[in-house]
Amino acid sequence: MYNLGDTSFRNQPKFMKESLIPHIIHRVENYLKQHPQEVFTFTFHGGEPLLIDKSFFGKFIRQAETLKELFPETTFEYNVQTNGVLIDDDWAAVLKAYKIFPGVSLDGTKKAHDMYRKDHKENGSYDDVIRGLKLLKRKLGFVSVISVMNLDESAEVTYQHLTDISSDYVNFLLPDYTHDSFPYQPKEMGKWLISLYDLWIQDKNRPIIPFFNGLTNAILGSQKIARHEAHALVIETNGDIEAIDSLKGCGENFTKTSLNVVNNDFEEIMQSPLGKLYFQDSMEKLCTKCLECPVASVCRGGRLVHRHKKENGFNNPSVYCEDMILLISHIQNTMMKLVPSMYDDSISKMDANEIIDYLNTLNFDSIENVYKQDLEFFSEV
């Protein structure tokens, strides 16, 4: 992940000490006693998690596995999000031993990827990542890619590339911008996404793309609505407990709490305004435009970071608002064409421009929003 303008990572130790592992497991135990889960996932993130000694994974997982006896109804999973550069035979063996299928960051083609992902000598890391991915495909039989969408490369070239490298799973992410940093024109990303979606839906051997799967499920009314990010809690290398990294884009130290796994339970983050909004209220406490929006049940206002503006905190629609209206309408209309039996005659095609025009005619100042104060609590002015 790019550092998003928050430099507080410089004050963190490079690696997590093994002495923190029992504290983390203890906090997970306390959490699961209060909130039983079918699946609980530990994700090794970073920085770059493969920089740590390989034995750390074994020590962590062995201690985490003790939770199985306490919570036999819960499946514990392990995940790694890596830049892929350090993957070698030894790492592949470690990952295989612990049944970890890592997500590897690859932002499309060599041109798109090397634009942002460079080493200390300013060399792009694309070639090393591709070498790592090929190794994983050979050793684990599965390639999972995490890809930040990049409008500097066409959707056609991006999709072809992901097909060429035999990706089984592509976790496409919208770039994390706030209203103070957003560089695109309205609808620019939406048109790119529609091109990508059309290629994907027509591909008989299409990979899993959770971004599209989640939206499709939400449109079809499935309970498996895209969960956004509101289930991930971050533990920094020094044991500090924080909300998700993407919110670092909202400002320096934005995600900091005074909580640490040595002294605090995970639950305690809910006592902070950001923890409560992020974990509990992010899909309900929305700005007036989102509350009035005809596609809100699918979009849910977008990710929190995409709603932020220094001037009024989270009291905004997503920076990708019109893009999402375009895309959601397009997916709905495509589904109506592909599986007409799922729709009755009373449902007509969606017109994205009509929705955008409708929302633009509303006078939001005249509509009371009970969440205004809570959302604007996070403004900086």
Binding site for ligand SF4 (CB under 6 A): 289-290, 293, 295-296, 299, 301-302, 317-318, 321, 324-325
Say if residue 104 is exposed, middle or buried (CB neighbours under 10 Å; 0-12, 13-18, 19+). Answer: buried
Question: Which of 104, 293 has the CB closer to ligand SF4?
Answer: 293
Of 156, 149, 113, give the one whose Cα is nearest residue 306: 149
Q: What are phi and psi of 145, to 5 degrees?
A: -115, 140
- Write down the least CB distance from residue 307 to ligand SF4, Å: 8
Question: Which of 85, 293 has the CB closer to ligand SF4?
Answer: 293
Question: Which of 265, 374 has the CB closer to ligand SF4?
Answer: 374
* Burial annotation 320-353 (CB, 10 A radius, 16+ → b, else e): bbbbbbbbbbbbbebbbeeeeeeeeeeeeebebe
Q: Among all chains, which residue has been given the structure tokens 């990010």?
A: 229
DSSP one-letter string for 158-196: HHHHHHHTT-SEEEEE-----TTT--SPTTHHHHHHHHH
- Write down the least CB distance from residue 16 to ligand SF4, Å: 36
- Write down the least CB distance from residue 264 to ligand SF4, Å: 33
Question: Which of 113, 187 has the CB closer to ligand SF4?
Answer: 187
Q: Among all chains, which residue has been given the structure tokens 């929190």?
A: 304
- Write down the least CB distance from residue 290 to ligand SF4, Å: 3
Question: Which of 15, 358 has the CB closer to ligand SF4?
Answer: 358
- Write down the least CB distance from residue 173 to ligand SF4, Å: 17
What is the 8-class DSSP label of residue 38? S
Residue 275 contacts residue 247 (beta carbons within 8 Å): no
DSSP one-letter string for 78-109: EEEEE-STT--HHHHHHHHHTT---EEE--SS
Q: How far apart are CA 320 and CA 178, in angstroms?
A: 10
Question: Which of 147, 318 has the CB closer to ligand SF4?
Answer: 318
- Write down the least CB distance from residue 210 to ligand SF4, Å: 18
Q: What is the dihedral sign for C-alpha 271, 275, 277, 283? A: negative
Angle at CA of residue 375, ends 369 and 380, nearest 5°: 135
- Write down the least CB distance from residue 376 to ligand SF4, Å: 17
What is the 8-class DSSP label of residue 281? I
- Write down the least CB distance from residue 371 to ligand SF4, Å: 13
Question: Which of 103, 302 has the CB closer to ligand SF4?
Answer: 302
Q: How far apart are CA 326 and CA 189, in angstroms?
A: 9
Question: Which of 199, 296 has the CB closer to ligand SF4?
Answer: 296
Nearest 10 degrees: Cα torsion 300, 358, 155, 316? -40
Question: Which of 60, 314 has the CB closer to ligand SF4?
Answer: 314
- Write down the least CB distance from residue 246 to ligand SF4, Å: 16
